[in-house]
Amino acid sequence: MTYTAVNPPAGDLDHVVDAWDAAPGLTITAGAADTVDRLADRGFDGRLRLRVNPGVGAGHHEKVVTGGHPKFGVGLDRAPDLAARIDREFEFAGIHAHAGSGISGDDLADHRELIRRLGELARDLESAGVAVETVDVGGGFGVPYREDAPPLELDAVADATREALGDIDGQLAIEPGRYVVADAGVLLTRVNTVKEAPGTVVAGVDAGLTTLLRPAMYDAYHAVRSLARDAGDRDQVGVTVAGPVCETADLLCENRPLPRPERGDLLAVGNAGAYGYEMASTYNSRPRPAEVTVDGGLLRRRESLADVSRLDAPAASSRRPEEHEP
């Protein structure tokens, strides 16, 4: 088990060090000397991996390129000293970096460069007497979100990785979570409003950026299909699928060719299995949706308005006069 955090709040570190007490095999990945100090302050001396900033990244959108951003990891110039310190004071579990998300065949050059730099660092550390157990190259394996996108050629990624990494004594690790679960989830949403607008038909739906944030946050493309029984008989029109929040970004797609929508239709939005519910919010007091299995089993019930307001303090007007602030 690995815990990888960026700027972990104190409570998180307390929690993870408690978890390590119970399960000493836990590996913690730290991306700042400060985090290493804070772990030492808590008595942690277990398995610690160093997240480095390799100065290069990749990804489908500027907001998901992590590799070279100052927020993530320790610069390659500082990494050897910090790795040596970790090796002295903890169990050094190797090095880590994550290029970014949605790496496609086109981005392989950047991905390859990141891995080349990690391989070089691993060899430098080895020759300085610091054994590197694992070189973790993160996730980012591109999911074909578009219907016409070719699937990522995993063999090509593997070949590029092997070649760029070169010979290392330790093991290669990857974090393919999104790639494994993205197409395991579909978002179902009902059309509640249909409106002819200049240049497009707007289908107002129950879901939106509070349910699936990726289109609003990253301009991400998700396939949309009409599940209306007679969808095949309807004419195709440019449809803008819009959520119920007063934000222009609250769109699941814009002017996409789809069967003409009607109020009550169900639409299916694909590849919602990764960063779907996890990124869902209760912004605008919108309850989050239920999660169900394909055969109808309930995994998580739909939130109610009462759930959303559960933690609110009583409204000022309903408090007794003596409780009001002066």
* Choice from 66, 189, 226, 271 touching ligand PLP (CB under 6 A): 66
* Choice from 89, 120, 126, 175 touching ligand PLP (CB under 6 A): 175
Instruction: Check if 246 is active-site.
Output: yes
Quick one: which of 54, 52, 57, 45 has its CA closest to 81? 52
User: Binding of ligand PLP at residue 117 (CB under 6 A)?
Assistant: no
Closest separation in Å from C-beta 10 to ligand PLP: 21
Rounded distance, CA 30 to CA 39, Å?
9
Task: Please tell me the total number of residues recorded for the chain in this structure.
Answer: 326
User: Binding of ligand PLP at residue 119 (CB under 6 A)?
Assistant: no
User: Binding of ligand PLP at residue 31 (CB under 6 A)?
Assistant: no
Give the type of residue at 30.
A
Quick one: which of 270, 185, 266, 269 has its CA closest to 227? 266
Strands (E), the chain: 2-4, 27-30, 47-53, 74-75, 91-96, 134-136, 171-173, 187-197, 200-205, 224-226, 236-242, 251-259, 266-269, 291-292, 298-300
Rounded distance, CA 208 to CA 131, Å?
48
| CB neighbours of residue 225 within 10 Å | 15
Residues 286 and 250: beta-carbon distance below 8 Å = no
User: Binding of ligand PLP at residue 68 (CB under 6 A)?
Assistant: no
* Choice from 98, 111, 214, 222 touching ligand PLP (CB under 6 A): 98
User: Binding of ligand PLP at residue 276 (CB under 6 A)?
Assistant: no
Q: Smaller CB distance to ligand PLP: residue 41 or 62?
A: 62
User: Binding of ligand PLP at residue 254 (CB under 6 A)?
Assistant: no
Catalytic residue among 22, 246, 306, 311: 246
Give the range of 42-50, 144-152, 171-179, 311-319 binding ligand PLP by CB under 6 A.
Answer: 171-179
Give the range of 116-124, 137-145, 234-242, 243-251 binding ligand PLP by CB under 6 A.
Answer: 137-145
Alpha-carbon separation of residue 146 from 54, 104, 194, 221 (angstroms): 30, 12, 25, 7
User: Binding of ligand PLP at residue 183 (CB under 6 A)?
Assistant: no
Q: Report how many residues bind ligand PLP under the rule CB under 6 A.
A: 11
Report, as residue numbers or ranges, the catalytic residues: 246
Tell me which residues touch ligand PLP (CB under 6 A).
4, 66, 98, 101, 138-141, 175, 177-178
